[in-house]
C-alpha cells in the first residue's frame, strides 16, 4: 500500500506530521495532488478552540488548487493531469437537502464540509475528492495555482456573506471583521453595487486592503463601541445590512443595534466558542422589526467555482492582495498554519505554492 505524508491534528492543541495510506478512489471520485495550499482560520478553530470536538490523526486543511492524479471509472469530465479548483465544501449532490438548495447540509447539518472534518483534508501529498464531476472545477490557465486557492474558501465564503445579505445597489453595509473572509465580503458587497461600505477591523494592512477593495469607511473596534462609531458616522441613520466575518457572539447584538427595520444581519463567521447568542429585544423591534438574522456555510460545487473563477479571469477581483506570506515547500505548511493561529499584524493569508 502506498503511503503519503500529511500535517494532522493529533489531538486537542496538537499538530504534527504523520504518514498515512494514500486514499482509495471510488467510481465517482478523484485523487488529487496539491499545487498550492493555504491554512485557514477554521483549521485554528478545529485544533486550538476544539470547535468540532477531539480528532486523532485527522489530516487538516480544506483549501487547495490541485492536479488530478486518478479518477474513478464513472467520472466523465476530469482526467489525470487536469488542473483543478478544490472547493472547501464538497456536498453529496443527490441528497434531498441539495435538491432543496442547501447542498452544504447534504445528509445533515454541515455535512457538505468533509475535508478536515469527516475525512482527511488537503494538507497532504494526496487527497480524495468525492463526486468529482459535481465538486471539481477546471482551473483556467489565466489563474495561478496560488490565486486559485482563494477560490476554495475565501472568495466563496465572503461572497456568500454578500449574497446572504442580499446587498443591493446603493445600500449601506457594515462588514464586521476584515481578515481574508471579511475582505472578500467587502469585495463581494462592492461588486453587488453597495453604496457606503464600513469595514470593521484593527490591523492596518487589512484596513488598507479593505479600502483597495472598495470600502468607504474604516471602523476600529479597539477605539470604542462600534455601534456608536457607526451611528455617529451615519448621523444616527441605521444601515441596511451587516455582514459578520469576525469577532465573537457579541457581534449579533451589535449588528441588530445598527440595522434598519427590514434589514439583514448575515453571518459567515464560524462561531468557535460560546453557548448562546443574545438578540436585543427592543432594537429587534420587540420581535416585530422584520430584521432577518441568517448564517451560512459557503456553497461548494462545480458551478459556483466555475462562475467565481470568471470573476478572476475577467479581472473584477485581484485576490493576490490577500496573499501576504508566500512559501514554496510542503514542509512550510506547518509555519503557515502557526502564522494563521498567531495572526501577526501584517498577515492576511499565507499560501504554499508547491514548486515540484
Ligand atoms: P481573521 O481572524 O483573519 O479575521 C477576523 C477579523 O475580525 C479581523 O479583521 C479582526 O480584526 C476582526 N475582529 C476580531 N475581534 C473583533 C471584535 N471584537 N469586533 C470586531 N471585529 C473583530 O479570520 P478570517 O477572515 O480568516 O475568518 C473569519 C471567520 O470566517 C473565521 O471564524 C473562519 O473560521 C470563518 N469561516 C467561515 C466559513 C463559512 O463557510 N461560513 C468558511 C471559512 C471561514 P483585527 O485582526 O484587525 O484586529
Ligand atoms: Zn477555510
Look up the CATH number of the domain holding residue 46: 3.90.180.10
Domain stops at, among 295, 317, 341: 295
Q: Which phi-psi region, left, alpha or beta, contains residue 279 (left: φ > 0; alpha: ψ -120 to 50)? A: beta
CA dihedral 68, 61, 136, 125 (to 10 degrees): 0
Whether residue 132 sits in one domain with residue 239: no
3-state secondary structure of 270: coil
Whether residue 286 sits in one domain with residue 179: yes
Q: Mean pLDDT over residues 240-256, rounded?
A: 98
CA distance 333 to 38: 8
pLDDT on residue 121: 98
> Residue 219's domain spans which residues?
156-295
Is residue 154 a contact partner of residue 124, using CB atoms and an 8 Å limit?
no
At 88-113, the pLDDT tens digits run: 999 999 999 999 999 999 999 999 99
CA 232, chain centre distance (Å): 31
CA 187, chain centre distance (Å): 14
Whether residue 141 sits in one domain with residue 46: yes
User: Given the CA of residue 246, which atom of ligand 1 is nearest to it?
Assistant: 7
Q: What is the 345 CA–ligand 2 centroid distance (Å)?
A: 19
Whether residue 251 sits in one domain with residue 119: no
Count Cα neighbours of 285 within 13 Å in the Cβ-side half-sphere: 12
Query: How does DSSP classify residue 49?
Result: S
Is residue 238 a contact partner of residue 220, using CB atoms and an 8 Å limit?
no
Whether residue 276 sits in one domain with residue 313: no
| Share above pLDDT 70 across residues of the chain, in percent, rounded to a whole number | 100
Q: What is the 292 CA–ligand 1 centroid distance (Å)?
A: 21
Q: Mean pLDDT over residues 126-151, rounded?
A: 98
Q: List the beta bridge partners of residue 265.
A: 242, 293
Is residue 257 a contact partner of residue 282, using CB atoms and an 8 Å limit?
no
pLDDT on residue 1: 73
Q: What is the 134 CA–ligand 2 centroid distance (Å)?
A: 20
Whether residue 138 sits in one domain with residue 109: yes
Would the CB of 158 count as within 6 Å of ligand 1? no
The runs of H, that is alpha helices, within the chain are 41-48, 96-99, 132-135, 145-149, 154-164, 180-191, 204-212, 226-233, 250-258, 302-313, 333-342
| Share above pLDDT 90 across residues of the chain, in percent, rounded to a whole number | 97
Q: Mean pLDDT over residues 107-131, rounded?
A: 98
Binned at pLDDT 50, 70 and 90, residue 272 comes out as confident
pLDDT on residue 307: 98
Look up the CATH number of the domain holding residue 220: 3.40.50.720
Whether residue 307 sits in one domain with residue 268: no
Q: Mean pLDDT over residues 57-61, rounded?
A: 98
**What is the tally of structural domains in the chain?**
2
Average pLDDT over all residues of the chain: 97
Is residue 227 a contact partner of residue 257, using CB atoms and an 8 Å limit?
yes
Q: Mean pLDDT over residues 264-273, rounded?
A: 94
Query: How does DSSP classify residue 345?
Result: T
Whether residue 149 sits in one domain with residue 9: yes
Whether residue 106 sits in one domain with residue 35: yes
Q: Mean pLDDT over residues 54-82, rounded?
A: 98
Whether residue 189 sits in one domain with residue 267: yes
* Count of Cβ atoms closer than 10 Å to residue 223 Cβ: 11
Binned at pLDDT 50, 70 and 90, residue 355 comes out as confident
Q: What is the 161 CA–ligand 2 centroid distance (Å)?
A: 14
Whether residue 260 sits in one domain with residue 221: yes
Domain stops at, among 279, 295, 311: 295
Is residue 62 a contact partner of residue 116, using CB atoms and an 8 Å limit?
yes
Q: Give φ, ψ of 15 to 5 degrees.
A: -120, 160
User: Given the CA of residue 113, which atom of ligand 1 is nearest to it?
Assistant: 40
Q: Mean pLDDT over residues 166-189, rounded?
A: 98
Would the CB of 39 count as within 6 Å of ligand 1? no
pLDDT on residue 356: 61
Q: Are strands 173-176 and 239-244 parallel, antiparallel or unpaired?
A: parallel
Whether residue 290 sits in one domain with residue 228: yes
Would the CB of 64 count as within 6 Å of ligand 1? no
Q: Which residues surround ligand 2, an ion (CB under 5 A)?
A: 40, 42, 153
Domain stops at, among 295, 315, 334: 295
Is residue 338 a contact partner of residue 60, using CB atoms and an 8 Å limit?
no
Is residue 25 a contact partner of residue 112, using CB atoms and an 8 Å limit?
no
Amino acid at each position: 500500500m502506498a503511503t503519503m505524508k500529511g500535517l494532522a491534528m493529533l489531538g486537542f492543541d496538537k499538530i504534527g506530521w504523520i504518514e498515512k495510506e494514500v486514499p482509495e478512489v471510488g467510481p465517482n471520485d478523484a485523487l488529487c495532488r496539491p499545487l498550492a495550499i493555504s491554512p485557514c482560520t477554521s483549521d485554528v478553530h478545529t485544533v486550538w478552540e476544539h470547535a468540532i470536538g477531539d480528532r486523532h490523526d485527522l489530516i487538516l486543511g480544506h483549501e487547495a488548487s490541485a492536479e488530478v492524479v486518478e479518477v474513478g471509472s464513472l467520472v466523465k469530465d476530469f482526467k489525470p493531469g487536469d488542473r483543478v479548483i478544490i472547493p472547501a465544501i464538497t456536498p453529496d449532490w443527490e441528497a434531498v437537502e441539495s435538491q432543496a438548495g442547501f447542498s452544504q447540509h447534504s445528509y445533515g447539518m454541515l455535512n457538505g464540509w468533509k475535508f478536515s472534518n469527516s475525512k482527511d483534508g488537503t494538507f497532504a501529498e494526496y487527497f480524495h475528492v468525492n463526486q468529482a464531476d459535481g465538486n471539481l472545477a477546471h482551473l483556467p490557465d489565466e489563474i495561478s495555482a496560488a490565486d486559485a486557492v482563494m477560490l476554495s474558501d475565501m472568495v466563496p465564503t465572503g461572497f456568500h456573506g454578500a449574497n446572504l445579505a442580499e446587498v443591493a445597489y446603493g445600500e449601506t453595509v457594515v462588514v464586521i471583521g476584515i481578515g481574508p473572509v471579511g475582505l472578500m465580503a467587502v469585495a463581494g458587497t462592492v461588486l453587488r453595487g453597495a453604496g457606503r461600505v464600513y469595514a470593521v477591523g484593527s490591523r492596518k494592512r487589512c484596513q488598507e486592503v479593505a479600502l483597495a477593495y472598495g470600502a468607504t469607511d474604516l471602523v476600529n473596534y479597539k477605539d470604542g463601541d462600534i455601534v456608536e462609531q457607526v451611528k455617529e458616522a451615519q448621523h444616527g441613520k441605521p444601515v441596511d445590512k451587516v455582514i459578520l466575518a469576525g469577532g465573537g457572539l457579541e457581534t449579533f447584538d451589535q449588528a441588530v443595534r445598527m440595522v434598519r427595520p427590514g434589514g439583514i444581519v448575515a453571518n459567515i463567521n464560524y462561531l468557535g466558542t460560546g453557548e448562546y447568542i443574545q438578540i436585543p429585544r427592543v432594537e429587534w423591534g420587540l420581535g416585530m422589526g422584520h430584521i432577518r438574522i441568517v448564517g451560512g456555510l459557503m456553497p461548494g460545487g462545480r458551478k459556483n467555482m466555475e462562475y467565481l473563477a470568471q470573476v478572476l479571469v475577467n479581472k473584477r477581483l485581484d485576490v493576490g492582495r490577500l496573499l501576504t506570506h508566500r512559501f514554496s515547500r510542503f514542509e512550510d505548511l506547518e509555519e503557515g498554519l502557526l502564522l494563521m493561529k498567531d495572526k501577526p499584524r501584517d498577515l492576511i493569508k499565507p499560501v504554499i505554492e508547491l514548486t515540484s
